[in-house]
């Protein structure tokens, strides 16, 4: 009975088909339900919406953090929405544990914003800055230790300390339906097309078309994705 209820609730929240692995025991499921109801209570209290907040989650500039239904934020994650457009989540998004999403790195020149599309899943220990603007398209899945840096320090003046020369910003964009491996870094100005795969550990900078596999330091196109027809 409890398994049927959980399946029904998950399908309602995620708005997609879902089945429960038969190896999950009723006791494990009961523990999961208690944990999720606790996280839901935190979401209602602190974000005033149907969201699931893990323990130790910290929120700054909450009015500039906007989400659709079924947002899941992992334990000890920090969200700071201070910026022009704040942090905007689509429906059914998740951010892993110990992550940091901060729009602005400076109070003297606040950042633009972070926009995350529907059904985006981000792994543990992600660091996403939003100074120059970050867009991640819907249905993209992202591994742990994801790092996003949409700004660069100016360095052209040898007579002035680098930290005093200011920054320049272009922004970063990732298309929908991408798969980004663990420990990938996206540098300012990166544009990744739809349907791309980025190999684990890659450092990405530049423009990449749709449906390619990217890898390396610095990242380059390894090959194109093609449909394989089963015979």
**Which of the residues 127, 135, 149, 153 is marked catalytic?**
153
Strand pairing category for 167-168 and 152-153: antiparallel
Largest Cα–Cα distance of the chain, in whole Å? 72
Rounded to the nearest 5 percent, the helix, strand and coil shares of the chain are 15, 30, 55
> 208 and 215 in contact (C-beta within 8 Å)?
no
CA distances from 195 to 20, 27, 137, 138, 144 (A): 28, 39, 10, 11, 19
Q: Are 20 and 6 in contact (CB under 8 A)?
A: yes
153 is catalytic: yes
Residues belonging to the active site: 153
């Amino acid at each position: 009975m409890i398994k049927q209820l959980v399946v029904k609730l998950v399908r309602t929240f995620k708005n997609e088909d879902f089945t429960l692995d038969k190896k999950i025991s009723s006791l494990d499921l009961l523990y999961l339900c208690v944990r999720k109801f606790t996280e839901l209570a935190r979401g209602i209290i602190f974000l005033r919406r149907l969201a699931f907040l893990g323990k130790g989650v910290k929120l700054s500039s909450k009015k500039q953090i906007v989400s659709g239904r079924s947002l899941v934020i992992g334990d000890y994650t920090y969200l700071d929405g201070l910026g022009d457009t704040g942090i905007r989540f689509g429906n059914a998004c998740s951010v892993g544990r110990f992550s940091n999403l901060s729009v602005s790195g400076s109070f003297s020149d606040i950042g633009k914003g972070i926009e995350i599309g529907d059904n985006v899943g981000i792994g543990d220990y992600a660091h996403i800055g939003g100074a120059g603007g970050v867009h991640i398209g819907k249905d993209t899945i992202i591994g742990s230790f994801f790092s996003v840096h949409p700004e660069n320090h100016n360095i052209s003046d040898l007579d002035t300390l680098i930290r005093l020369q200011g920054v320049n910003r272009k922004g970063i964009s990732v298309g929908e339906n991408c798969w980004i491996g663990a420990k990938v870094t996206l540098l300012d100005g990166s544009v990744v097309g739809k349907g791309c795969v980025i190999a684990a550990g890659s450092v990405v900078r530049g423009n990449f078309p749709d449906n390619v596999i990217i890898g390396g330091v610095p990242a380059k196109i390894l090959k194109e994705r093609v449909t394989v027809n089963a015979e």
